[in-house]
């Protein structure tokens, strides 16, 4: 596969024909435009698609690996790079890694590696299967770090909506929760979590005025539904020692209450965990403007820099 700039590839894909890079950038989605302005369209990458990292419920669960190429095929033994583990949204009931491929562009343009994963949806297996899968994906990253040049001391996990929830669970779930038995192995850790308007309290979305169909579908008619909702809620695991967490959330989000983000921030602060809540004024459930995205990513880069994820040295990490 021939390497190309990730933003140039997107421009070609959607058929933009302008000879002016600035004109092209002005037409791109907010996160892609931000990446273009950051990098100058310089990064090339190689993709290893549809790698099976887990077989469960008679389904092969797959991921894609994006590696910075710089004109050459990445080879084992080259310098390891910070690595993003990205988890798609869709209310645990829909979408796929392909639907969120553009969301990883800012990190690729920073020169990171990216692992973009699928997980079992509610139609295949109810909660907590998606959480188990994401923990298995993190173990896969560790097992294959040498082959793909992943820097295991600088793994950041991220996602939007239910993907943000799963990112939080991947970074925060302790071994004592018993959710990592699908793929037993050594303990793993992440350097930070970037949570885009993720669900922090699943139980709140099951009943009353805040009930959401996607949450009800994910939990189904499990006899111990309330117990499982608690086990898969990030707020349950807000404690000292979890990774630094930055949350981006619109204060007018109609699907995931903004109050959940406030509660998570307060719980993490009380536990002494480095964290930040980036509030998008008037922001809904995603769909932020370019300026809002630039502000959010600026905060994310500053936060990750403070945690030494973007620089050489030993970052702040937390043992699961």
Full set of structural domains in the chain with CATH: 6-319 (3.40.50.1820)
| Backbone angles phi and psi of 49, in degrees to 5 | -90, 155
33 Cα distance to chain centroid:
19
pLDDT at residue 1, rounded to an integer = 43
**Residue 240 burial class via C-beta count within 10 angstroms: exposed 0-12, middle 13-18, buried 19 and up:** exposed
Residue of 186, 199, 182, 276 lying closest to 236 (CA atoms):
199
Q: What is the 3-state secondary structure (H, E, C) of 30-75?
A: HHHHHHHHHHCCCCEEEEEEEEEEEEECCEEEEEEEEEECCCCCCC
Q: For the segment 239-253, what is each residue's pLDDT rounded down to a tens digit?
A: 999 999 999 999 999
Q: For the segment 247-271, what is each residue's pLDDT rounded down to a tens digit?
A: 999 999 999 999 999 999 999 999 9
Residue of 247, 274, 283, 244 lying closest to 262 (CA atoms):
247
pLDDT at residue 17, rounded to an integer = 28
pLDDT at residue 78, rounded to an integer = 74
Coil, strand or helix at 167: helix
Q: For the segment 1-60, what is each residue's pLDDT rounded down to a tens digit?
A: 444 444 444 333 333 222 232 333 334 455 555 554 554 445 678 899 999 999 999 999
Summarize the confidence of residues 134-153 as an average pLDDT.
96
**pTM, 2 dp:** 0.86
How far apart CA 111 and CA 247 sit, in angstroms, is: 22
Residue 241 is classified by DSSP as T
């Amino acid at each position: 596969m021939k390497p190309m700039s990730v933003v140039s590839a997107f421009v070609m894909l959607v058929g933009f024909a302008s000879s002016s890079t600035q004109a092209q950038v002005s037409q791109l989605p907010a996160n892609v435009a931000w990446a273009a302005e950051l990098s100058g369209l310089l990064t090339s990458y190689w993709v290893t698609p549809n790698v099976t990292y887990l077989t469960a419920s008679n389904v092969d669960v797959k991921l894609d690996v994006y590696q910075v190429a710089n004109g050459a095929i990445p080879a084992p033994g080259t310098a390891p790079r910070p690595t993003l583990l990205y988890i798609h949204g869709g209310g645990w009931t829909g979408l796929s890694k392909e639907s969120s491929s553009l969301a990883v562009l800012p990190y690729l343009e920073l020169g990171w590696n990216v692992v973009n994963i699928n997980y079992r949806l509610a139609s295949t297996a109810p909660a907590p299967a998606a959480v188990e899968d994401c923990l298995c994906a993190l173990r896969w990253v560790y097992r294959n770090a040498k082959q793909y040049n992943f820097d295991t001391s600088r793994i950041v996990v991220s996602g939007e909506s239910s993907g943000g929830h799963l990112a939080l669970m991947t970074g925060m779930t302790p071994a004592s929760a018993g959710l990592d038995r699908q793929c037993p192995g050594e303990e793993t850790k992440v350097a930070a979590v970037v949570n885009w308007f993720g669900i922090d309290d699943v139980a709140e979305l099951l009943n009353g005025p805040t009930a959401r169909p996607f949450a009800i579908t994910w939990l189904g008619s499990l006899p111990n539904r309330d117990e499982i909702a608690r086990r898969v809620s990030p707020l349950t695991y807000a404690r000292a020692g979890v990774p630094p967490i930055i949350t981006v959330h619109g204060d007018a989000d109609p699907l995931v209450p903004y109050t959940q983000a406030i509660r998570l921030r307060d719980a993490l602060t009380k536990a002494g965990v480095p964290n930040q809540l980036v509030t998008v004024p008037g922001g809904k459930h995603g769909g932020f403007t370019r300026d809002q995205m630039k502000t959010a990513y600026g905060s994310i880069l500053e936060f990750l820099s403070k945690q030494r994820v973007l620089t050489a040295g030993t970052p702040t990490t937390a043992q699961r």
